[in-house]
């Protein structure tokens, strides 16, 4: 008996929903083995990782605060991934959004008018979109691979931020720490509940996710994106402009990532620092795939991956495990998800080798 | 002259890890597979080589461990993309995310610990020659191995039967399969080779270039190696000049900082990344030249019964 894969006629609806759950279960099983190998009691680690961060209102608010940038970036990326546009530079676009919006906050100073925060949001969107416009231009004009250009631009963006907070934008009264002044209270995102860090960015993100669903499911551009991704030849015959879709998906992804960056600096952080994101832009790739490139799925997977960040912090404090455990968990999760995805498009047939030879 | 020799020696040091990783990836891509996980394989190779060298005291074992760590990561990628038919781009990204996390986890107890730099190969007399002595004969075994890998790869791809089969599979896996060539097996082997080479690149970083382990110490070199394959238009001979050009840019940036030019260090550190983009654009703009050598099946999933 040896297994072989037989192509399904269409994607299995059941498996589309079942594989993320299967991947999470496999990751937890594998994670338990890993923790046992590191000399920890697996149930204790899993409890600290996945249950403890959900045990109070403050923790739930923190979960939403962490999920917000992940969901924003992932929704932007999902447009591109569906059209086979591989923007993996969301981290850089997030950084540029933070620089553009944060620059306005610093320029406005301590007595900022009411229009400054909306202006910062617009600047965040534009900053991220501008950074994503570079790979879009290089791809459509020179056919340069967007995977590599968007990634290289991430390093450039992080160095640019580092220059600004070490140099011209450094807080003169900051005891030479590399960080900007604190933003004025009037330009910070309003908090939703007192005593937590839950800010206005979360409901805006929810609203944008629903909007993204509407665009993909109901609008012609969403249809074009799906056709280009599934059968590029048919898209060509239908006269859809691939270059136009490259521009649209990259600019949208960049704008949403830039918004995520602005929400971080105008929300939980409140100033510009050398490091404004623990790799949200990269992790968003996992969020996008785990959510099946679907806005509602991305909302759920964003919350789950946010939990892996909080869980990583908890096990660091409680059990002395390094924060890198989060990355290992996230990487494993993507492995298992990609592996389990074979079940969506193929079914496994168990046949005797002899029968295979007969048939083939 | 002695300064020039010193600069050239540091260029060689900066180029060697790029060369290893790029040669491996070139063979992988020639077989029709796009493995974007070079960065992840490299960083795991770096921590593997460092950990084994430190605990056993043997650099040879360390180098082998680096190659094995890279190959093990490549095996996971091969399982996902060749056996389970997963998307190659997504799988490569997963490999990088996992590699960076896993290397940080494995290497946490080694941060800040010293290891003896990989020794120079001592050829009696030759190393003492003025200027060209240290330049030509003053390197460690990995530097020579990386340079030697170029003619060996050219010979393999262009002169050997196995290399011909590998290239045929990369051009059209359906046609090669119809002729009876083992598409999946050849791609597995190519990926293992690519992983081992990326692991060697990582080993060079942690054992010779900066003999220590630091989290995320590859700093995008795996991605630059991917860009180098495009730069070389999939021809191994050109990898050498590409890797040394990028090594030169990395070193130039350090030396400009050293000479105290009033350019903020961050702008100089951007140079290798900006240069990568510039080079990609220059090569890709001339579409036909790049496409002539690019494997036609690159990145496409192969399922014999489809």
Per-residue pLDDT tens over the stretch A270-285: 899 998 998 899 889 9
**A170-204 b/e with 16+ CB inside 10 Å = b?**
bbeeeeeebbbbbbbeebbbeeeeeebbbbbbbeb
Instruction: Residue B80: list chain A partners with CB under 8 A.
Output: 335, 338-339
Say whether pLDDT at A229 is over 60.
yes
Instruction: Residue A285: list chain B partners with CB under 8 A.
Output: 90, 93, 97
pLDDT > 90: percent of chain B: 46
Chain A closest CA to B159's CA: distance in Å? 30
Instruction: Residue A342: list chain B partners with CB under 8 A.
Output: 84-86
| pLDDT at position A357 | 47
Nearest CA in chain B to A9: B306
Of A47 and A129, the structure prediction assigns the larger pLDDT to A129
CA B54 vs CA B63, B188, B274: distances in Å: 12, 31, 36
| pLDDT at position A356 | 47
pLDDT, averaged across chain A = 87
Say whether pLDDT at A358 is over 50.
no
Per-residue pLDDT, averaged over B164-169, amounts to: 94
Say whether pLDDT at A10 is over 80.
no
- Does residue A345 lie within any of the structural domains? no
Say whether pLDDT at A360 is over 50.
no
- With an 8 Å Cβ cutoff, are A144 and B274 in contact? no
- Does residue A32 lie within any of the structural domains? no
Q: What is the ipTM of this complex?
A: 0.86
Mutate to test the interface with B, among A74, A95, A147 (most CBs of B within 10 A): A147
Chain B closest CA to A332's CA: distance in Å? 7
Spatial distance between the Cα atoms of B231 and A283, rounded to a whole number of angstroms: 28
- Does residue A116 lie within any of the structural domains? yes
Nearest CA in chain A to B34: A147
- Does residue B238 lie within any of the structural domains? yes
Which of B104, B266, B303 is closest, CB to CB, to A7? B303
Residues A42 and A176: beta-carbon distance below 8 Å: no
The CATH number covering residue B29 comes to: 1.10.3470
| pLDDT at position B305 | 66
- With an 8 Å Cβ cutoff, are B284 and A326 in contact? no
Tens digit of each residue's pLDDT (9 = 90 or more) over B208-234: 998 889 888 988 899 999 989 988 888
- With an 8 Å Cβ cutoff, are B85 and A346 in contact? yes
Per-residue pLDDT, averaged over B125-143, amounts to: 72
Q: If you ran DSSP here, which 8-state letter would residue A189 be given?
A: P
Nearest CA in chain A to B103: A324
- With an 8 Å Cβ cutoff, are B104 and A327 in contact? yes
- Does residue A53 lie within any of the structural domains? no
| pLDDT at position B124 | 64
- Does residue B149 lie within any of the structural domains? yes
- Does residue B300 lie within any of the structural domains? no
Which of A86, A143, A327 is closest, CB to CB, to B97? A327
Its domain, for residue B268, covers 2-293
| CA trace torsion A65, A69, A72, A73 (10° rounding) | -160
- With an 8 Å Cβ cutoff, are B267 and A338 in contact? no
- Does residue B210 lie within any of the structural domains? yes
- With an 8 Å Cβ cutoff, are A286 and B94 in contact? yes
Tens digit of each residue's pLDDT (9 = 90 or more) over B235-254: 998 899 999 988 888 888 87
Nearest CA in chain B to A281: B97
Instruction: Residue A332: list chain B partners with CB under 8 A.
Output: 98
Say whether pLDDT at B260 is over 70.
no
Nearest CA in chain A to B82: A339
On the CB side of A14, CA atoms within 13 Å amount to 4
- With an 8 Å Cβ cutoff, are A152 and B87 in contact? no
Spatial distance between the Cα atoms of A121 and A256, rounded to a whole number of angstroms: 11
- With an 8 Å Cβ cutoff, are B80 and A335 in contact? yes
Chain A closest CA to B167's CA: distance in Å? 22
Spatial distance between the Cα atoms of B208 and B28, rounded to a whole number of angstroms: 26
Instruction: Residue A162: list chain B partners with CB under 8 A.
Output: 266
Chain A closest CA to B279's CA: distance in Å? 9
Bin A120: left if φ > 0, else alpha if -120 < ψ < 50, else beta.
alpha
CA A122 vs CA A133, A256, B85: distances in Å: 16, 11, 42
- Does residue A59 lie within any of the structural domains? no
Count of CB pairs separated by less than 8 Å, A with B: 143
- With an 8 Å Cβ cutoff, are B102 and A138 in contact? no
- Does residue A7 lie within any of the structural domains? no
- Does residue A6 lie within any of the structural domains? no
- Does residue B57 lie within any of the structural domains? yes
Instruction: Residue A4: list chain B partners with CB under 8 A.
Output: 305
- With an 8 Å Cβ cutoff, are A145 and B102 in contact? no
Chain A closest CA to B94's CA: distance in Å? 5
Which of B102, B267, B306 is closest, CB to CB, to A7? B306
Per-residue pLDDT, averaged over B261-267, amounts to: 81
Question: Which range has the worst mean pLDDT, A148-152, A338-342, B2-6, B66-70?
Answer: B2-6
Residues A94 and A69: beta-carbon distance below 8 Å: yes
The number of folded domains in chain B is: 1
- With an 8 Å Cβ cutoff, are B227 and A148 in contact? yes
Instruction: Residue B97: list chain A partners with CB under 8 A.
Output: 282-283, 285-286, 327, 330-331, 334
SS3 B178: helix
| pLDDT at position A359 | 44
Per-residue pLDDT, averaged over B30-40, amounts to: 94
- Does residue B64 lie within any of the structural domains? yes
Residues B256 and B263: beta-carbon distance below 8 Å: yes
Which of B94, B100, B266 is closest, CB to CB, to A338? B94
Which of B89, B220, B276 is closest, CB to CB, to A86? B89
The number of folded domains in chain A is: 1
Its domain, for residue A91, covers 69-301
- Does residue B77 lie within any of the structural domains? yes
| pLDDT at position A354 | 47
**C-alpha distance across the termini of chain A, in Å:** 15
Rg of chain B on CA atoms, in Å:
19
Instruction: Residue A5: list chain B partners with CB under 8 A.
Output: 85, 303, 305
In this prediction, residue B108 has a pLDDT band, given cuts at 50, 70 and 90, of: confident
Spatial distance between the Cα atoms of B221 and B38, rounded to a whole number of angstroms: 9
- Does residue A111 lie within any of the structural domains? yes
| pLDDT at position B151 | 95
Instruction: Residue B281: list chain A partners with CB under 8 A.
Output: 138, 142, 144, 149
Nearest CA in chain A to B280: A144
**A251-280 b/e with 16+ CB inside 10 Å = b?**
bbbbbbbbbbbbbbbbbbbbbbbeebbebb
Which of A88, A167, A331 is closest, CB to CB, to B101? A331
Residues A324 and B47: beta-carbon distance below 8 Å: no
- With an 8 Å Cβ cutoff, are A324 and B94 in contact? no
Per-residue pLDDT, averaged over A139-155, amounts to: 90
Contacts of B167 (CB under 8 A, 6+ apart): B30, B31, B157, B295
């Amino acid at each position: 008996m040896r297994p072989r894969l037989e192509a399904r006629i269409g994607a299995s609806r059941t498996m589309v929903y079942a594989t993320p759950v299967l991947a999470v279960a496999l990751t937890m099983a594998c994670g338990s083995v890993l923790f046992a190998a590191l000399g920890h009691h697996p149930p204790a680690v899993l409890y600290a990782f996945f249950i403890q961060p959900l045990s109070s209102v403050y923790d739930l608010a923190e979960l939403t605060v962490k999920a917000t940038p992940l969901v924003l970036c992932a929704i932007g990326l999902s447009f591109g991934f569906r059209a086979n546009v591989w923007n993996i530079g969301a981290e850089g676009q997030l950084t540029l959004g933070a620089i553009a919006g944060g620059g306005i906050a610093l320029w406005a100073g301590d007595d900022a008018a009411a229009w400054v925060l909306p202006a910062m949001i617009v600047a965040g969107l534009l900053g991220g979109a501008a950074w994503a416009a570079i790979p879009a231009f290089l791809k459509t004009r020179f056919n340069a691979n967007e995977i590599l250009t968007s990634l290289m631009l991430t390093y450039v963006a992080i160095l640019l931020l580092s220059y600004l907070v070490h140099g011209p934008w450094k807080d003169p009264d900051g005891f030479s720490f590399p960080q900007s002044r604190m933003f004025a209270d009037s330009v910070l995102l309003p908090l939703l509940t007192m005593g937590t860090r839950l800010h206005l960015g979360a409901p805006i993100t929810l609203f944008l996710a629903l909007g993204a669903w509407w665009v993909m499911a109901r609008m012609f551009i969403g249809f074009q994106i799906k056709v280009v991704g599934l059968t590029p030849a048919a898209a060509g015959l239908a006269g859809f402009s691939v270059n136009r879709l490259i521009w649209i998906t990259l600019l949208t992804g960049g704008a949403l990532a830039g918004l995520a960056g602005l929400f971080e600096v105008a929300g939980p952080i409140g100033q510009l620092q050398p490091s404004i994101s623990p790799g949200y832009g990269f992790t968003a790739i996992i969020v996008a795939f785990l959510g099946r490139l679907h806005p509602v799925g991305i909302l759920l997977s964003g919350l789950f991956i946010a939990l892996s960040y909080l869980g990583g912090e908890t096990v660091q404090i409680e059990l002395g495990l390094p924060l890198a455990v989060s990355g290992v968990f996230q990487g494993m999760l993507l492995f298992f998800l990609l592996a389990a995805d074979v079940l969506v498009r193929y079914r496994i047939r168990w046949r005797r080798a002899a029968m295979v030879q007969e048939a083939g | 002259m002695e300064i020039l020799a010193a600069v050239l020696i540091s260029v060689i040091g900066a180029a060697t890890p790029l060369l290893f990783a790029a040669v491996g990836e070139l063979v992988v891509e020639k077989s029709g597979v796009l493995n974007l996980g070079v960065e992840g394989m490299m960083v795991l190779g770096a921590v593997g080589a460092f950990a084994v060298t430190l605990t056993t005291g043997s650099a040879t074992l360390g180098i082998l461990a680096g190659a094995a760590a890279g190959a093990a990561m490549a095996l996971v990628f091969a399982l996902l993309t060749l056996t389970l038919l997963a998307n190659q781009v997504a799988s490569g990204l997963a490999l990088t995310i996992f590699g960076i996390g896993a290397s940080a986890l494995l290497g946490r107890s080694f941060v800040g610990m010293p290891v003896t730099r990989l020794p120079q190969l001592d050829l009696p007399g030759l190393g003492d020659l003025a200027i060209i002595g240290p330049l030509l004969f003053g390197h460690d075994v990995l530097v020579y191995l990386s340079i030697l890998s170029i003619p060996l790869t050219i010979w393999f791809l262009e002169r050997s039967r196995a290399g011909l089969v590998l290239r045929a599979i990369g051009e059209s896996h359906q046609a090669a399969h119809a002729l009876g060539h083992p598409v999946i097996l050849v791609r597995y082997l190519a990926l293992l080779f690519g992983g081992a080479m990326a692991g060697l690149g990582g080993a060079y970083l942690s054992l010779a270039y900066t003999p220590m382990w630091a989290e995320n110490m590859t700093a995008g070199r795996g991605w630059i190696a991917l860009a180098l394959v495009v730069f070389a238009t999939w021809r191994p001979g050109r990898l050498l000049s590409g890797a040394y050009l990028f090594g030169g840019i990395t070193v130039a940036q350090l030396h400009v900082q050293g000479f105290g030019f009033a350019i903020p260090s961050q702008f100089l550190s951007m140079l290798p990344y900006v240069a990568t983009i510039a080079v990609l654009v220059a090569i890709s703009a001339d579409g036909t030249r790049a496409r002539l050598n690019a494997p036609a099946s690159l990145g496409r999933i192969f399922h014999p019964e489809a």
